[in-house]
């Protein structure tokens, strides 16, 4: 845990800094970030070692105090990204993979302790904020960031602003219907985008293809529980036909959904991140092909699809800090 600051004190450095917090099912990472999105200092602990909300908050506070003791600048705000983080209420509402006993009002608690603005958002929005703060979306006002993992989420920037929507639910595009009456989704509906484009969706497509048995596959001999999106991706890279075809189908569904999103939001670019994106061109090529086939004429040639700046978690920390810094700037602009 912890470690000495790895930056040199520079008299030109801004004398304010932000705390960015990235809460995940496995690790919670906390960083001091300057107003140019540089990470000054990082702390990390295992989320699951603090099973109750109050224990977790104590550990967060302990890490922040450590940072405050090491950095002599003024704390200007705290930004937090978490699964099920709600921008409007500041509450983290019992994420499935974090077993807190009840919703956690992290905004209220931390703003009371530190006396600064605290803002919270969900993990898909955090990826978009990171892209804007320190990734490929620097300088872009209209873009979409797609995160594919156990589900699928989007962060949508329109005219320089991240869409939060009523109850902070904007961007939950994993539940757009792409196949009416199709696969059952955990949301209770059928045919949602993430029943195809997610780690489990990719496995479902593979198993469906397996039942058709029209192509050869190394995975046929595997027990079902050993088949994962990661394995399908690595087998596709070694030339497995059925695994390759599975990624092609995944890309076709994703490309069509991105074309529909583009018609709604007119982005300049769409950035993809998350584990299944590691399949590289095996997923990206069919995604782009389907995207361009389904795009309307007046958007042709105006939108690029690309990988996220990086798959590291640095972007998330810079994004969390940007969340609160950007909100403060908006308030200043509106009061001028
Ligand atoms: Zn759904």
Over the stretch 40-86, which tens digit does the pLDDT of each residue have? 999 999 998 988 899 999 999 999 999 999 998 999 999 999 988 99
Across the chain, mean pLDDT equals 89
- Identify the CATH number of the domain defined by range 16-122: 3.30.420.40
Distance 285 CA to ligand 1 centre (A): 25
Q: What pTM value is reported for the model?
A: 0.87
Contact 103/243 with Cβ under 8 angstroms? no
Distance 68 CA to ligand 1 centre (A): 42
Distance 188 CA to ligand 1 centre (A): 6
Distance 93 CA to ligand 1 centre (A): 18
Over the stretch 145-187, which tens digit does the pLDDT of each residue have? 999 998 999 999 999 999 998 888 899 999 999 999 999 998 8
- Identify the CATH number of the domain defined by range 136-307: 3.30.420.40
In the 8-state DSSP scheme, what is residue 151? S
Query: In this predicted structure, what is the pLDDT of residue 15?
Result: 83
> Domain limits of the chain?
16-122, 136-307
Query: In this predicted structure, what is the pLDDT of residue 232?
Result: 94
Distance 257 CA to ligand 1 centre (A): 14
Distance 182 CA to ligand 1 centre (A): 11
Q: What's the whole-number mean pLDDT along residues 109-137?
A: 95
Over the stretch 237-293, which tens digit does the pLDDT of each residue have? 999 999 999 999 999 999 999 999 999 999 999 999 999 999 999 999 999 999 999
Distance 212 CA to ligand 1 centre (A): 25
Asked if 16-122 and 136-307 have one fold, the answer is yes
Query: In this predicted structure, what is the pLDDT of residue 3?
Result: 43
Query: In this predicted structure, what is the pLDDT of residue 25?
Result: 84
In the 8-state DSSP scheme, what is residue 104? B
Spatial distance between the Cα atoms of 27 and 1, rounded to a whole number of angstroms: 11
Closest by Cα among 314, 323, 324 to 39:
314
Ranges of beta strands (E only) in the chain are 16-23, 27-33, 39-46, 74-81, 118-121, 143-148, 152-158, 161-162, 269-273, 304-307
């Amino acid at each position: 845990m912890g470690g000495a600051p790895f930056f040199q004190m520079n008299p030109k450095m801004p004398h304010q800094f932000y705390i960015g917090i990235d809460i995940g099912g496995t690790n919670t990472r906390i960083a001091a970030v300057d107003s140019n999105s540089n990470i000054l200092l990082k702390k990390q602990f295992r989320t699951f070692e603090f099973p109750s909300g109050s224990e977790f908050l104590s550990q967060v506070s302990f890490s922040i105090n450590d940072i405050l003791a090491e950095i002599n600048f003024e704390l200007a705000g705290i930004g937090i990204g978490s699964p099920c983080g709600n921008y409007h209420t500041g509450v983290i509402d019992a994420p499935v993979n974090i077993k807190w006993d009840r919703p956690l009002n992290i905004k209220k608690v931390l703003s009371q302790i530190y006396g600064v603005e605290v803002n919270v958002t969900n993990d898909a929005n955090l990826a978009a904020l990171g892209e804007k703060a320190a990734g490929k979306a620097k300088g872009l006002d209209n873009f979409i960031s797609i995160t594919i993992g156990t589900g699928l989420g989007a962060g949508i920037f329109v005219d320089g602003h991240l869409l939060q929507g009523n109850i902070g639910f904007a961007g939950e595009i994993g539940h757009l219907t792409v196949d009416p009456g199709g696969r059952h989704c955990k949301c209770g509906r059928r045919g949602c985008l993430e029943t195809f484009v997610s780690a489990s969706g990719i496995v479902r497509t593979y198993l469906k293809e397996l039942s058709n048995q029209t192509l050869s596959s190394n995975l046929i001999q595997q027990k079902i529980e050993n088949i994962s999106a990661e394995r399908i991706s690595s087998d596709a890279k070694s030339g497995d036909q059925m695994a390759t075809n599975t990624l092609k189908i995944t890309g076709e569904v994703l490309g069509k959904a991105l074309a529909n999103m583009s018609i709604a939001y007119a982005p300049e670019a769409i950035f993809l991140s998350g584990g299944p994106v590691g399949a590289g061109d095996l997923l990206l090529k069919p995604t782009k092909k389907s995207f361009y086939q389904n795009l309307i004429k007046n958007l042709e040639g105006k939108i690029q699809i690309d990988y996220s700046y990086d798959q590291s978690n640095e972007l998330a920390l810079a994004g969390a800090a940007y969340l609160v810094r950007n909100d403060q700037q908006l308030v200043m602009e509106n009061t001028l």
